Structure 1
Amino acid sequence: MGAGAAGPAGSAVSSGDPAAAAEPEERELEAALRPKNLDDFVGQERVRKQLALVLAASKIRGRSADHVLMSGPPGLGKTTLAMIIAAEMNAPLRISSGPAIQHAGDLAAILSSLSEGEVLFLDEIHRMSRPAEEMLYMAMEDFRVDIIVGKGAGATAIPLELPPFTLVGATTRAGLLPGPLRDRFGFTGHLEFYSVAELELVLRRSAGMLDLKLTSAGFAEIAGRSRGTPRIANRLLRRVRDWALVHGIETIDARTASAALDMYEVDARGLDRLDRSVLEALVSKFNGGPVGLSTLAIAVGEEPETVETVAEPFLLREGLLGRTPRGRIAMPAAWEHLGLKMPGNAVAAAMLPFDEDVVDDV
């Protein structure tokens, strides 16, 4: 399975899950569904083969593996691969995250407690503080850090030798990593979204572990609504399982899966409530746009950051939404998906030049 869940260990599954009281069970299932070795990891064939070569060479040399950087959207398997690296190297795994390391002392405390050969996984590594980042340069390259004691003119640097370790960094925004940090990773892998066929393989493995019976059409129905993301596929599988259990259905077919996911407001294309709210606001309230991000967020009752980071990436990838210098617009596919006819002025708006970096607050 290529990322039954790819967030930090113990993190909650994506939005849309039931109440927080169900989270412990969800976390246990999430952990159980993770593949334990590269052979069980579905998808990402190029990265998987390259990583297997890096690990095999490290074993032959009898040394810790080179530092590894994994980039790509959430839910594709970055945390899972970090766990697999530790398992393949028969080494302990330490997990932390960039936001948790806001001072150089935080990083020094983690690095100084590492054992030889240990794997340190830093999720969202691009969100580390600059002082900690600069300390990490020396730790990665020379396995040494300088601990500053005192302040001002009387401050002294005490060198601290570190045992060889492997850093596995994960980021959803590789472009925010400074060049000196990127260059210190011996292997960089970018994870791509999964095809429907690959997601079906992920779901078949998960269904076997959950002792669920699904038809081929049932697998295809869930995979088609999973937005190319194994974490979402497994989450939807569990929700379909719940629906079938309550309704006394033993074998899940396409009709059962469709009815369950419709109830959870996940449509045939994988759009959820927020996605459809954004498109419907664009179309019904702003005639297809263009409209600024802040205005659009107010219209759907969400924060601008939520619209930009949660809904927009998928809508852009599906060709349903566009970003122009004047704001967001609904693309022809959005009108078609909502079953509406695109008016002439909306067609003209869709022909405006695009700018992927625009953040319009009109």
Structure 2
Amino acid sequence: MTEPEELVSALPALDEREVEASLRPKALGEFVGQPKVREQLQLVLESALRRNRPPDHVLLSGPPGLGKTSLAMIIAAELGTPIRVTSGPAIERAGDLAALLTSLTEGEVLFIDEIHRIARPAEELLYMAMEDFRVDVIVGKGPGATAIPLELAPFTLVGATTRAGLLTGPLRDRFGFTGHMDFYDEGELEQVLARSADLLDIALRPDGGAEIAGRSRGTPRIANRLLRRVRDYAEVRADGIVTADIAHAALAVYDVDQLGLDRLDRAVLDALVRRFGGGPVGVSTIAVAVGEEIATVEEVAEPFLVRAGLLARTPRGRVATPAAWAHLGLTPPTAGGGPTLFDA
């Protein structure tokens, strides 16, 4: 079973990939949210179909769990072509990429997830493949090495990245269309939940969907995960119907509060507020206080706490905002009312 602290992680769990695949929309018209990206992508695909040519290469960027992989699958479905799926970390050598590219059929979609993590030699090979549909395979080593040019069938590369800033300029410039995925609002998440409940045969009331959506951190993957856990609670301890009260009780069992904070998030806030007076305090000190690694606090807890306006990163350290004090039911100290870590 998914651990409580993993329920609100936007990263996919190994045991839920099959469920995720069954919930993916199959067409652009079924995809909920991201209206600007959907409209732009529809124009790109429709134009390519009218010209009977593969569309420009597509880069999808944004935080995990927002639907980048689903859109890649939809692109292939809308074009009526096969899709080949791989990931940046899996392409370690230029030869791995060359073998993959030369096996593509005309018009096929190649999807590379986490493309910013592709090995540099393979990335340099990708430049020519994207631009000229050609690769040069090096045979031999040293002065006697020769380059054998291989023509590629025209294809469309769809790259997905959660860290667009790590993409090199030459690679980014070779994508004809770039779509940035934003977090969903609660209304859009309610639509996602209603669709998923229908596919999973879950009796979800509108108020139950609203309760789950409000705790889903703006991320469909988290919303669908919480929906399945609430379903389990409803089937075991109620009549199987997911209402607001049932969702509230179920998510209390799984330690997910009204804002979507889990055990680690609240532990970080609690340490910052109760032990260190709201800060400023270094992240290493917070990590020791909550018994976690520094990387876990920085990469798992802090991004959402900052986005939710509960924590601020400052040059002097982490600081709890008034909203954090209010969320914990406490009153923030008055300005200048007490000593700080930097007082003499």
Asked if structure 2 preserves the Cα contact closer than 8 Å seen for 1:288 and 1:329, the reply is yes
Instruction: Say whether residues 1:274 and 2:240 are aligned partners.
Output: no
Output aligned runs, 1:130-149, within 5 Å: 130-149=120-139
Asked if structure 2 preserves the Cα contact closer than 8 Å seen for 1:288 and 1:346, the reply is no
Unaligned stretches of 5+ residues in structure 2: 8-12
Picking from 4, 17, 26, the partner of 2:16 is 26
- Mark the CA change 1:46 to 1:280 in structure 2 (over 3 Å): closer, same or farther: same
Matching residue of 2:95: 105
Output aligned runs, 1:218-229, within 5 Å: 218-229=208-219
Instruction: Please report how far the alpha carbon of residue 348 of structure 1 lies from its aligned counterpart in structure 2 after TM superposition.
Output: 8.8
Separation in 2, partners of 1:98, 1:298: 33
Output aligned runs, 1:14-93, within 5 Å: 16=6, 26-93=16-83
Matching residue of 1:328: 318
Separation in 1, partners of 2:21, 2:336: 46
Asked if structure 1 preserves the Cα contact closer than 8 Å seen for 2:190 and 2:209, the reply is yes
Moved more, 298-307 or 139-148: 298-307
> 3-state DSSP class of the match of 1:222?
helix
Instruction: Please report how far the alpha carbon of residue 114 of structure 1 lies from its aligned counterpart in structure 2 after TM superposition.
Output: 1.3
What is the alpha-carbon root mean square deviation over aligned residues? 2.1
Picking from 210, 221, 234, the partner of 2:224 is 234
Separation in 2, partners of 1:134, 1:182: 12
Separation in 2, partners of 1:13, 1:267: 15
Moved more, 226-235 or 97-106: 97-106
Instruction: Please report how far the alpha carbon of residue 151 of structure 1 lies from its aligned counterpart in structure 2 after TM superposition.
Output: 1.4
Unaligned stretches of 5+ residues in structure 1: 1-11, 18-22, 353-362
Matching residue of 2:196: 206
> 3-state DSSP class of the match of 1:94?
strand
Matching residue of 2:161: 171
The TM-score, its normalising length taken from structure 1, stands at 0.88
Instruction: Please report how far the alpha carbon of residue 35 of structure 1 lies from its aligned counterpart in structure 2 after TM superposition.
Output: 0.4
- Mark the CA change 1:326 to 1:25 in structure 2 (over 3 Å): closer, same or farther: closer
Matching residue of 1:96: 86
Matching residue of 1:338: 328
Matching residue of 2:302: 312
Asked if structure 1 preserves the Cα contact closer than 8 Å seen for 2:4 and 2:255, the reply is no
Asked if structure 2 preserves the Cα contact closer than 8 Å seen for 1:287 and 1:346, the reply is no
Instruction: Say whether residues 1:243 and 2:233 are aligned partners.
Output: yes
The amino acid that maps onto 2:264 is L
Separation in 1, partners of 2:15, 2:287: 33
Instruction: Please report how far the alpha carbon of residue 138 of structure 1 lies from its aligned counterpart in structure 2 after TM superposition.
Output: 0.6
Instruction: Please report how far the alpha carbon of residue 25 of structure 1 lies from its aligned counterpart in structure 2 after TM superposition.
Output: 6.5
How many residues align? The count is 335
Deviations along 1:237-256, one digit per CA (max 9) or x if unpaired, are 00000111111423211100
Instruction: Please report how far the alpha carbon of residue 156 of structure 1 lies from its aligned counterpart in structure 2 after TM superposition.
Output: 1.4
Instruction: Please report how far the alpha carbon of residue 347 of structure 1 lies from its aligned counterpart in structure 2 after TM superposition.
Output: 8.3
Matching residue of 2:10: none
- Mark the CA change 1:70 to 1:15 in structure 2 (over 3 Å): closer, same or farther: farther
Instruction: Say whether residues 1:183 and 2:173 are aligned partners.
Output: yes
The amino acid that maps onto 1:168 is V
- Mark the CA change 1:216 to 1:280 in structure 2 (over 3 Å): closer, same or farther: same
The amino acid that maps onto 1:231 is R
Instruction: Please report how far the alpha carbon of residue 282 of structure 1 lies from its aligned counterpart in structure 2 after TM superposition.
Output: 1.1
The TM-score, its normalising length taken from structure 2, stands at 0.92
